[in-house]
Structure 1
Amino acid sequence: MKRQKRDRLERAQSQGYKAGVNGRSAETCPYQQVDAKSYWLGGWRDAKHDRDSGLIK
């Protein structure tokens, strides 16, 4: 059975979260499409919130 690729929007959110955890700026978003960019920024905001609340060092 072939493995399915992860949904591209889920991948965008995951990459945004990783960028936020690493302290990158929201301006570094690599996506141009509105949907993918929105998910990337959502992941970035989640990571920023987690960093600010002390869940991530």
Structure 2
Amino acid sequence: MKRQKRDKLTRAHAKGYQAGISGRSKDICPFQTIETRSQWLGGYREAMEDRQTGMVVR
């Protein structure tokens, strides 16, 4: 059974969230297009908020 690829924007958000949780810099965003970059940064910001509120323990 084939696995479907997830939407690129969803993947960008998830990768940004992972980068934020691990404490990486937001300057490492690998995406160049505006839409995917904004999704990545949105995930990054969400992760940083979660870290500050204590929802995620590193």
Report the TM-score when normalising by structure 1. 0.94
Alignment partners' CA distance in 2, 1:35 and 1:11? 12
Q: Is 1:14 aligned to residue 8 of structure 2?
A: no
CA drift at 1:4: 1.7
Q: What is the alpha-carbon root mean square deviation over aligned residues?
A: 0.9
Q: How many residues are aligned here? A: 57
Runs of 4+ with >3 A deviation: none
Gaps of 5+ in 2: none
Gaps of 5+ in 1: none
Report the TM-score when normalising by structure 2. 0.92
Deviations 1:1-52 (A, max 9, x none): 5332100000000000000000011111000000000000000000000000
